[in-house]
Amino acid sequence: MSLRDLAALRGSLIVLATFVALGAAAVAFTARLVDKATAEMKVRQAALEEARLRYQRSGDEKDTIVRYLDGYEKLQREGVVGEERRINWIDGLREANIRSELFGVDYQIGVQQPYSGRTHVAGIEVRQSDMKIRFPLLHEGDLLRFLDTLERQHMGLFLVDKCALERTNQTGGAALRYQPNLVAECDLTWITLVEESGREKKG
């Protein structure tokens, strides 16, 4: 080819080079779009998988709630879950005294406060109210019978911290058949479970 021929093709070569450059740029741009779309697809797939797992977990949580709902509501009725029910505790003391055929119960209830033990459940606040009770007995066996009867009242959850017995017949003389010979003094801790927000759980 002569210089004259190259000069004649110059315009065509410039157009060809322009198209080649544009084609290369289009390929690069398309590759970036593919990479972006691939990354976005991965993000959406991850979100979809998370949503699927969340739905599955919610189903598991629902099954757990259904499985334990009756037991939870039973604890609510018995005053273990929710705000403390001091009137129920006092009724339980009186009923236990009657059923144990004892001679009455004196009591003192302290201010409710956070539980002093180490028990912790996420989202649940464990509270305690200290109670001192004093009641006369015929013999030592009446103490265990009274506490067992109190527990069977299902008026709440309580712990027996300590009990002390004091003999009342100090003279050593013969006591009457149905006259109390001992006085029991016990420290109880009534336990209540509530949501940490302070609102009672509804089940």
Q: What is the pLDDT of residue 203?
A: 40
DSSP secondary structure letters along 132-189: EEEEEESSTHHHHHHHHHHHTT-S-EEEEEEEEEEES-TT-PPPPTTS--EEEEEEEE
- pLDDT values of the chain reduced to their tens digit, one per residue, 203 residues: 544 554 555 555 555 555 555 555 555 655 565 556 566 666 766 777 777 777 666 666 666 666 667 777 788 888 888 888 999 999 999 999 999 999 999 999 999 998 887 666 667 788 899 999 999 999 889 999 999 999 898 888 888 999 999 988 655 555 556 788 899 999 999 988 887 664 444 44
Residue 3's pLDDT is what?
Answer: 47
Query: Residue 159 CB: number of other CB atoms within 10 A?
Result: 12
Q: What is the reported pTM? A: 0.59
Q: What are phi and psi of 83, to 5 degrees?
A: -70, 150
pLDDT of res. 2 = 46
